[in-house]
């Protein structure tokens, strides 16, 4: 049982398969914030991230009969969400959409970050806001494969094997992408690191 008193994921999945809809709601509540944070970091727009999360859980619910349990539900729903993010990015690139990066409020409205008071925020808070904006902007400049790997590892804290399952690539490829993404981020943010 988790902190809210709900059973483990596997048991909730079985309850869903047996028609207990509230069991799926428990899975959504358990993982929606983390899936949203990842989607937001990958697509850069709140509304798109919310749509992707909704679509990911809807696809998971509709395909629950196909879920074989070879990985955890968490890994499975993350894989669905990441694939939706990758599709979204490819579609956006085909349409040559420009993702706005000058929206500090939008960049801060995810991942549990709260905007500071607009009335004379302390200098440290302003620096933190600017740093968060710059990091989010730098992430958006990475290609989707590198961004997915580094977001899942450094922001979500997932292990290499789980990331490998989500992205459907070997662990060595995950490590390589993370290393390369970190190097690209370091180059883009060198003035913040120094």
pLDDT class of 139 with cuts at 50, 70, 90: confident
Distance of CA 32 to the CA centre of its chain: 10
- Domain 7-99: give its CATH code: 1.10.1740.10
Averaged over 139-145, what is the pLDDT?
88
Per residue in 85-96, pLDDT (tens digit) is: 888 877 765 544
Q: What's the pLDDT score for residue 125? A: 66
C-alpha distances in angstroms, 3 versus 26, 29, 120? 12, 12, 38
How do the domains of the chain map onto residue ranges? Answer: 7-99
């Amino acid at each position: 049982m988790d902190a809210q008193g709900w059973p483990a994921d596997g048991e909730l999945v079985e309850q869903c398969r047996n028609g207990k809809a509230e069991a799926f709601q428990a899975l959504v509540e358990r993982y929606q914030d983390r899936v949203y944070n990842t989607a937001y970091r990958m697509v850069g727009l709140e509304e798109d991230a919310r749509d992707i999360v909704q679509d990911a859980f809807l696809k998971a619910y509709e395909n629950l009969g196909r879920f074989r349990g070879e990985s955890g539900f968490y890994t499975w729903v993350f894989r669905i969400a990441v694939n939706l993010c990758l599709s979204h990015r490819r579609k956006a690139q085909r349409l040559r959409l420009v993702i706005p990066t000058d929206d500090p409020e939008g960049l801060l409205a995810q991942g549990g970050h709260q905007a500071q008071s607009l009335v004379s925020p302390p200098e440290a808070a302003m620096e933190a806001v600017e740093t968060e904006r710059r990091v989010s902007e730098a992430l958006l400049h990475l290609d989707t494969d590198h961004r997915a790997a580094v977001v899942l590892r450094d922001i979500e804290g997932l292990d290499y094997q789980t990331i490998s399952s989500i992205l459907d690539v070997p662990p060595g490829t995950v490590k390589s992408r993370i290393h390369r993404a970190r190097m690209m981020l370091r180059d883009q943010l060198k003035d913040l690191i120094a």
